[in-house]
Structure 1
Amino acid sequence: MRAFVKVESGVNGIEPAEVAVPRIDDDELLVRVKAVGVGIHDSYFLPGDAKYPFPIGIEAAGVVEQVGSDVSGHRPGDRVAFVSSMQPKGGTWAEYAAVKAGSLIVPVPAGLDFVEAAAVPVAGNTVLRAVKALEAVPTGGSLFIAGGSGAIGTLAIQVARTRGWRVGASASERNHDHMLSLGAEAVVDYHDPTWPEQIRRWMPGGADAAMAVQPHTSADSLSVVRDGGKLITISGDVVAPERNVRVEMVPHDTDVRGELTQLMTEIAQNEKRVEIERVYPFEEAQAALAKVQTRHARGKLVLRLD
């Protein structure tokens, strides 16, 4: 099968290759990949026991081809979107992927094509887990999102508005109108060193909570949260709490499969939008990876397989 692989450990870059279709175990599915969500971690989020050449990637959508004898709830022909990370048999940048039945797998609803479906699992899962950690924010409360124009930020704006929260967000100026169209009411340019002051003018006393999506934004985001509020550091920044503001990472053990399935349905019904900046043919996977690594994509980049 066609795949994009890391040739050996410690070597940067990926290359096209022909590799064997993975054989599934009793607790796995074999999925024929139709579209791949491109992520900044795809080329280095690899299992320690990876065998090279190793197909990269963690997110995709496609059709179930085979199911292991111990698998229930899935059958050949099912349309699914999934996250398959740290799988020694290889990732999603390939024509077929072996997926553990216990992985994050959700049905693709009617009306949602594979390209849109492949753009949702990682970003949607992250947003829904972060929102779950902010359940104490009341209806009418406020959320600031540092990095509102990417795949996570654009979904976070919409999910927060569904919760009845007022949303402020940062991004480059060219994306401001877009964020406003998604439901943000205060938008700031992160290039402007006065953006924290602008957010505090929007929400005197500070926002109830913040999500720091982009790296190196947590400290400034903390400064716009009210005393006793909460900051979720999606970026993984480490920042010391102050003023009784709780600082937490995304709770990765939270199960949001039901909410993610509902989000996919809402996208299929045009109640929410999945933002896709560009769809690349599979042959141009290297260009897509280079683009996402700039951290300047608006929404998601997706690879389409024939």
Structure 2
Amino acid sequence: MRAFVKPSSDSDQCELTEVAAPQIDADELLVRVKAVGVGIHDSYFLPGDAKYPYPIGIEAAGVVEEVGDSVRGHRPGDRIAFISSMQPKGGTWAEFAAVRADSLVVPVPPALDFVEAAAVPVAGNTALRAVEALQAVPSGGSLFIAGGSGAIGTLAIQVARARGWRVAASASEHNHDHMREFGAETAVDYRDPAWPDRIRTWMPGGVDAAIAVPPGTSGETLTVVRDGGALVSVSGDAVTPERGVHVQVVPHESDVRAELVRLMAEISRKEKRVVIEEVFPFGEAPAALAKVRTRRARGKVVLRVL
């Protein structure tokens, strides 16, 4: 099969080559990959026991080709989207992937194409976990999202609005209307030194909660949260809590699988949207990764494999 691989543990390169398709164990699925969600961590989020050349990637959508003997609930022909990370047999930047059945695997509704489906697992899972961690915010409460124009931010805006929360978000000025389309009441430019004042004008006393998506944004975001409020850092910034604000990283142990299945269904019915910045042919995967590394993509970058 064709795959983009890291050729050795000390290489910084990503190369397209022919490698053997993975053989599955009893607890795995063999998936024919149709589309891949591209993430900034794809080329270095690798298991310690990886065998090289190692296919990179952690997120995709495709069709189940084979089912391991001990797997229940899946069968050949199933359309699925999944996250499969740190697996010794390789990742998702390939024509086939071996996926543990206990990984995050969700069905792809018939009306949803694979390109859209591949854009949802990581961004949707992260947005849902971040919002779920703020479940103490009541209906009508307020939320600020730092980095609201990307795939995680736009999904978080929509999920929060569905809970009845009022939302403000930050991004560069040309993305403000984009965020308002998804339900943000107020949009601020993160490059404007006065943006915290604008948020406090919108919500005197500070917002009930905040989600800081990009690295390095959690500290300043903390300043617009009310005393006793809550902050979730997606990137895991180290922040010293103050004024009784509860600070945490996205709770990775939180199980939002059912909510992710529902989100997929809502996207297929056009009730919610996943934003796709650009779709690249599989052969142009390095250019897709370079685009993601700029951290300036509006939404998700996807590879079309087949």
TM-score, structure 1 as length reference: 0.99
| Counterpart in the other structure of 1:82 | 82
d(CA) in 2 for partners of 1:106 and 1:38? Answer: 18
Three-state SS of the structure 1 residue aligned to 2:149 is coil
| Counterpart in the other structure of 2:60 | 60
d(CA) in 1 for partners of 2:197 and 2:215? Answer: 20
d(CA) in 2 for partners of 1:159 and 1:301? Answer: 21
**1:140 and 2:140 are equivalent in the alignment:** yes
Q: How does 1:218-297 map to 2 (within 5 A)?
A: 218-297=218-297
How far does the alpha carbon of each residue in 1:88-121 deviate from its partner, in whole angstroms, 9 at most, with x for none?
0000000000000100000001210000000000
How far does the alpha carbon of each residue in 1:172-230 deviate from its partner, in whole angstroms, 9 at most, with x for none?
11111000011000100111111111111111100000000001000111000000000
Three-state SS of the structure 2 residue aligned to 1:74 is coil
| Counterpart in the other structure of 2:211 | 211
* Cα drift, residue 57 of structure 1: 0.3
* Cα drift, residue 266 of structure 1: 0.2
Unaligned ranges ≥5, structure 2: none
d(CA) in 2 for partners of 1:44 and 1:193? Answer: 34
d(CA) in 1 for partners of 2:161 and 2:285? Answer: 34
| Counterpart in the other structure of 1:22 | 22
| Counterpart in the other structure of 1:303 | 303
Three-state SS of the structure 2 residue aligned to 1:161 is helix
Three-state SS of the structure 2 residue aligned to 1:63 is strand
d(CA) in 1 for partners of 2:13 and 2:132? Answer: 36
d(CA) in 2 for partners of 1:10 and 1:212? Answer: 32
| Counterpart in the other structure of 1:172 | 172
- Letter of the aligned partner of 2:233 in structure 1? T
TM-score, structure 2 as length reference: 0.99
d(CA) in 2 for partners of 1:210 and 1:52? Answer: 41
- Letter of the aligned partner of 2:110 in structure 1? A
How far does the alpha carbon of each residue in 1:148-175 deviate from its partner, in whole angstroms, 9 at most, with x for none?
0111001001111000000000001111
d(CA) in 2 for partners of 1:263 and 1:304? Answer: 22
| Counterpart in the other structure of 2:117 | 117
* Cα drift, residue 235 of structure 1: 1.3
d(CA) in 1 for partners of 2:194 and 2:284? Answer: 39
| Counterpart in the other structure of 1:188 | 188
Three-state SS of the structure 2 residue aligned to 1:16 is strand
> Over the residues paired in the alignment, what is the CA RMSD in angstroms?
0.6
* Cα drift, residue 262 of structure 1: 0.2
Three-state SS of the structure 1 residue aligned to 2:234 is coil
* Cα drift, residue 132 of structure 1: 1.0
- Letter of the aligned partner of 1:125 in structure 2? N
Give the total of aligned pairs: 306
* Cα drift, residue 10 of structure 1: 2.6
| Counterpart in the other structure of 1:103 | 103
* Cα drift, residue 13 of structure 1: 2.5
d(CA) in 2 for partners of 1:218 and 1:154? Answer: 18
d(CA) in 2 for partners of 1:219 and 1:10? Answer: 34
Three-state SS of the structure 2 residue aligned to 1:8 is coil
d(CA) in 2 for partners of 1:182 and 1:131? Answer: 16
| Counterpart in the other structure of 2:157 | 157
d(CA) in 2 for partners of 1:27 and 1:207? Answer: 45
d(CA) in 2 for partners of 1:18 and 1:196? Answer: 51
Q: How does 1:195-206 map to 2 (within 5 A)?
A: 195-206=195-206
How far does the alpha carbon of each residue in 1:7-47 deviate from its partner, in whole angstroms, 9 at most, with x for none?
11132121111110000000000000000000000000000
How far does the alpha carbon of each residue in 1:222-252 deviate from its partner, in whole angstroms, 9 at most, with x for none?
0000000000000110000000000001111
d(CA) in 2 for partners of 1:68 and 1:183? Answer: 43
Unaligned ranges ≥5, structure 1: none
Three-state SS of the structure 2 residue aligned to 1:289 is helix
d(CA) in 2 for partners of 1:274 and 1:188? Answer: 22
d(CA) in 1 for partners of 2:11 and 2:204? Answer: 49
d(CA) in 2 for partners of 1:295 and 1:9? Answer: 25
Three-state SS of the structure 1 residue aligned to 2:161 is helix
Q: Percent identity?
A: 74
d(CA) in 1 for partners of 2:43 and 2:83? Answer: 15
- Letter of the aligned partner of 2:181 in structure 1? S
| Counterpart in the other structure of 2:39 | 39
